[in-house]
Amino acid sequence: EAGVAQSPRYKIIEKRQSVAFWCNPISGHATLYWYQQILGQGPKLLIQFQNNGVVDDSQLPKDRFSAERLKGVDSTLKIQPAKLEDSAVYLCASSSTSGGRYFGPGTRLTVT
């Protein structure tokens, strides 16, 4: 079974620039999540999709972060404009209705 795919794996940008991350979940998984993991901490949920609808985006900084999952499969997460404190690993995960959550390899973002 193929896992969750993410790209790019690494990204370095300057503050105030924009960046976008892409995620392709495990085939058949209806639920997709974006997490932010700051070094030394556990993953923090940013947004959760069920098919192409948003289930929870309560911790997404909506003034600068946006995410979409237009066809209920792939998803993109965008940051515009980036701040220094956005430096983190952005993890995408997917799950079936009752199953565990499977994480992608993550995108390590460095904002300088």
Binding site for other proteins (CB under 8 A): 31, 40-45, 48, 55-56, 91, 95, 100-106
Question: Considering beta carbons, is residue 13 or 45 the nearer one to other proteins?
Answer: 45
- The number of CA neighbours under 13 Å toward the Cβ of 70 is 2
Could you give the CA distance from residue 81 to residue 16 in angstroms, rounded to a whole number? 4
Question: Considering beta carbons, is residue 14 or 56 the nearer one to other proteins?
Answer: 56
Could you give the CA distance from residue 27 to residue 31 in angstroms, rounded to a whole number? 11
Question: Considering beta carbons, is residue 71 or 100 the nearer one to other proteins?
Answer: 100
Q: How far is the CB of 77 from other proteins (least distance, A)?
A: 16
Q: How far is the CB of 93 from other proteins (least distance, A)?
A: 8
Q: What is the token pair recorded at 74?
A: 């792939």
Are residues 88 and 36 in contact, defined by beta-carbon separation less than 8 angstroms? yes
Q: How far is the CB of 57 from other proteins (least distance, A)?
A: 11
